[in-house]
């Protein structure tokens, strides 16, 4: 007769089952869990495996056990001890997210938490089965997701553990880098440099065109609509195609007669910088004497820009701090609001 094969990690399954119910609020402080024999029958395992699972929950501060009182749910633990930092990868990963992942790990460690960085490839179907298995195996209590697609966030949300992301798709539980302040800072830099005819090249025309024109008008700068060049159909993975289109757009702006040619150029975001730089070199204009460049720093492309420029960047350190704080608040059951980290002028 063949012996019955048991799942060697069944105790983890039992512990995860009750931990998830406690974190979701389904089981409240003071509630009693079933007896060890009842759990063993429910999960079709031994009382020993159940006791192992309960010992784990006791060690983690989720429950208390005592003679005559059984296993009782405690008030939520004071802080997180294990957090997963999930970085979604593709053919191109913004350097901002690598920097954010490093800062997150440092801040979590300083708070006495053990960070675990996990890489997950973009999946158009949102299949995060492998990621969920890793979260369970590592007993991760909360997740911070960077560069995550909407489908993956939907799957992670069903996992019922605290989750914070850098995407607007997560609604309230998000901390994102905002580009809206770019127009304000760009116009300020142009005005302070004494330029009068700025132009804007952007892949986000709906969000930035009117903002740039309005702020330029308030600053007394003349910006005809023809000085706003737009690149539509932007492809995050098609960097070469984006650069070609940026080259054509900037070449058209700079080929005008001197009286109509822009004396300053603001560019957002930085994926299109290679094409911009090529067009500026091809124009023969001097930078910054003939043309002031105001550029956005995010993906690390600026390392390939040798032209002098005014740089605007997002505060990634502030983003990491806000994410850690938000995750802690969610873990404790507190309500949170979305946070947008503004741009700043780079020193």
pLDDT digits (tens, 9 = 90+) for 154-191: 888 877 789 999 887 888 899 987 766 889 999 999 99
187 shares its domain with 295: yes
Looking at the fold, whether 218 and 159 belong to one and the same domain comes out as no
pLDDT in tens, 83-137: 999 988 765 566 778 889 999 999 998 888 889 988 877 766 667 788 888 887 7
Q: What is the secondary structure of 245-270 as a DSSP string?
A: HHHHHHHHHHTS-TTTS-SEEEEESS
Same-domain status, 195 and 307 = yes
Inside any domain, residue 224:
yes
Map tokens 């911070």 to a residue.
144
Whole-number pLDDT of residue 76: 61
Total structural domains within the chain = 3
What confidence category does residue 193 fall into, taking pLDDT thresholds of 50, 70 and 90? very high
Paired tokens of 56: 């784990």
What CATH number has the domain bearing residue 64? 1.10.10.10
Answer positive or negative: Cα dihedral of 272, 273, 276, 277. Answer: negative
What pTM, to 2 d.p., does this model score? 0.65
CA dist 234 and 218 (Å) reads: 30
CATH of the domain at 198: 3.40.50.2300
Do residues 123 and 69 both lie within one domain?
A: no
Last residue of a domain, one of 73, 96, 120: 73
Q: Name the pLDDT band for 250 (thresholds 50, 70, 90).
A: very high
What span, in angstroms and rounded, lies between the C-alpha atoms of 129 and 125?
Answer: 11
State whether 192 and 232 are in the same domain.
Answer: yes
On whether both 27 and 62 belong to a single domain, the answer is: yes
Residues 297 and 187 reside in one and the same domain: yes
| 222 and 187 fall within a common domain | yes
Query: Which residues contact residue 209 at a Cβ distance below 8 angstroms, ignoring those fewer than 6 apart?
Result: 200, 202, 228, 230
Residue 3 lies in a domain: no
Which bin fits 266, alpha (ψ -120 to 50), beta or left (φ > 0)? beta
**52 pLDDT exceeds 80?**
yes
Pick the most confident of 38-52, 53-67, 75-89, 165-179.
Answer: 38-52
For residues 31-53, average pLDDT:
91
Is residue 4 a part of any domain in this protein?
no
Q: What is the mean pLDDT of the chain?
A: 85
pLDDT value at position 230? 87
> Strand, helix or coil at 97?
helix
Residue 188 belongs to domain spanning? 181-313
Asked whether residue 328 falls in the same domain as residue 280, the answer is: no
Task: List the single range of 30-44, 107-121, 268-282, 305-319 with lowest mean pLDDT.
Answer: 107-121
Would you tell me how many other CB atoms lie within 10 Å of the CB of residue 342? 15
């Amino acid at each position: 007769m063949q012996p019955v094969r048991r799942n060697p990690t069944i105790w983890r399954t039992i512990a995860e089952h009750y931990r998830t119910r406690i974190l979701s609020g389904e089981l409240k402080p003071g509630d009693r869990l079933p007896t060890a024999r009842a759990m063993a029958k429910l999960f079709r395992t031994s009382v020993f495996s159940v006791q192992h699972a309960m010992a784990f929950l006791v060690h983690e501060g989720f429950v208390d056990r005592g003679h005559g009182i059984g296993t009782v749910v405690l008030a939520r633990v004071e802080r997180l001890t294990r957090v997963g930092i999930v970085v979604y990868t593709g053919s191109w990963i913004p350097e901002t997210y690598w920097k954010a992942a490093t800062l997150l790990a440092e801040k979590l460690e300083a708070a006495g938490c053990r960070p675990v960085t996990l890489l997950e490839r973009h999946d158009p179907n949102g299949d995060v089965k492998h990621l969920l298995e890793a979260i369970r195996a590592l007993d991760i209590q909360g997740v911070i997701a960077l560069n995550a697609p909407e489908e993956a966030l939907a799957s992670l949300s069903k996992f019922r553990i605290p989750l914070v992301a850098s995407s607007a798709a997560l609604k309230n539980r998000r901390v994102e880098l905002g580009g809206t302040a770019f127009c304000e800072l760009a116009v300020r830099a142009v005005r302070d440099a004494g330029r009068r005819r700025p132009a804007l090249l952007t892949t986000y025309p709906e969000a930035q065109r009117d903002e740039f024109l309005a702020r330029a008008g308030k600053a007394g700068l003349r910006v005809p609509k023809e000085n706003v060049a737009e690149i539509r159909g932007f492809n995050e993975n098609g960097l070469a195609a984006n650069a070609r289109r940026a080259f054509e757009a900037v070449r058209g702006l700079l080929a005008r007669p001197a009286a109509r040619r822009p004396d300053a150029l603001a560019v957002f975001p930085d994926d299109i910088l290679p094409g911009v730089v090529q067009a500026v070199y091809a124009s023969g204009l001097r930078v910054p004497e003939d043309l002031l460049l105001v550029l956005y720093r995010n993906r690390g492309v600026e390392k390939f820009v040798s032209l002098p420029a005014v740089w605007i960047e997002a505060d990634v350190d502030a983003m990491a701090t806000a994410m850690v704080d938000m995750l802690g608040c969610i873990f404790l059951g507190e309500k949170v609001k979305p946070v947008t980290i503004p741009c700043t002028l780079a020193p």
